[in-house]
Amino acid sequence: MNLKKLNPGLLWMQFEDVLAPRLGLSVKERAVYSYLLRHSLVVGKPRLQFAVIALARTLGLSFGAARQAVRRLDELGALRVLERSKRGHLAEMRVPEKIRAIRLHKNDALEALGAAAEPAASTHETTDFLKTWALRKAIHDRERGACFYCFRRTSGKVRCLDHVVPRVRFGPNSYRNLVSCCIECNTRKGDRPAPDFLRTLYRLGRLTPAELDARLRALKDLAAGKLRPALPENGK
Ligand SMILES: [Zn+2]
């Protein structure tokens, strides 16, 4: 990419209209990507060095949330962490049009995110459901267009995947730990345990007593492996 020709207006539109919704970025992930881009490609530098603690402080995030956002952006290919050291992270930023998952949407996205370079996982239990677009879609499809937590209708633009057990607590990218939810729930839940968050929704009047019971049961079924999404046909 020719950095001198970077068009900030176009970049901003690509970020808001394509990258964030298509990758299902949370508000925190948007903030982190936007901030890091501002201090790298926007000023003509493909790479930047930053400390997660300083990033968190600047953006008003917890350390865990900032670290989680950087990790997820790395997994999605929106940036590449090249080095972690005492001085912090050294990362290479990607503009939306250079992110393979975006360029090669749908079928070709199977090759995106580096998945093609690794052997295909064929069973539910060994599959990383954040790995490809098709696998992430399988989780969204399982919830049938409703937020797992609050039942609100979700669409491609207003949904994301949430780790029931947060990644900061080592929650895996398993179908037993990932749910499709609305952006508001994803943001409000943060790093809290899911049952606590459901009870908060109940206290706020967003869930009826019966719905709360149903959601708490669904959480148990999820962890027990009873809510298996349909795997994409080629196993990826
Ligand atoms: Zn929700």
Instruction: State pLDDT tens for residues 192-211.
Output: 899 999 999 999 999 999 99
- To the nearest 10°, the Cα dihedral for 135, 139, 145, 148? -150
* Protein residues within 5 Å, CB atom, of ion ligand 1: 147, 149-150, 152, 181-182, 185
Ligand 1 centre distance from Cα of residue 151 (Å): 6
Q: What percent of the chain has pLDDT over 90?
A: 56
CA 140, 146, 148, 149 torsion-angle sign: positive
Ligand 1 centre distance from Cα of residue 164 (Å): 13
Ligand 1 centre distance from Cα of residue 186 (Å): 7
| Residue 165: Cβ-neighbour burial (10 angstroms; 0-12, 13-18, 19+) | middle
pLDDT at 223 > cutoff 70 = yes
Domains of the chain and any CATH numbers = 3-98 (1.10.10.10), 124-223 (1.10.30)
Strands 88-93 and 47-50: antiparallel
pTM score of the predicted model: 0.49
Q: Reading across the β-sheet that carries 88-93, which strands appear in turn?
A: 47-50, 88-93, 79-85
In three-state secondary structure terms, 114 is helix
**What is the distance, to the nearest Å, from the Cα of residue 81 to the centroid of all Cα atoms in its chain?**
16
Ligand 1 centre distance from Cα of residue 109 (Å): 27
Would you place residue 171 in the very low, low, confident or very high pLDDT band (cuts 50, 70, 90)?
Answer: confident
Instruction: State pLDDT tens for residues 100-134.
Output: 766 655 434 333 333 333 344 457 888 899 999 99
Ligand 1 centre distance from Cα of residue 183 (Å): 7
At residue 112, the pLDDT reads 37
Identify which of 79, 80, 51 has the alpha carbon closest to the alpha carbon of residue 66. 51
Ligand 1 centre distance from Cα of residue 119 (Å): 34
Ligand 1 centre distance from Cα of residue 24 (Å): 14
Residue 221 exposure: Cα atoms within 13 Å on the Cβ side? 12
Would you place residue 89 in the very low, low, confident or very high pLDDT band (cuts 50, 70, 90)?
Answer: very high
Identify which of 217, 132, 223, 115 has the alpha carbon closest to the alpha carbon of residue 175. 223
Ligand 1 centre distance from Cα of residue 153 (Å): 8
pLDDT at 88 > cutoff 60 = yes
Find the helix packing angle between 52-59 and 27-38, rounded to 10°: 110
| Separation CA 186–CA 191 (nearest Å) | 10
Ligand 1 centre distance from Cα of residue 182 (Å): 4
| Separation CA 127–CA 149 (nearest Å) | 23
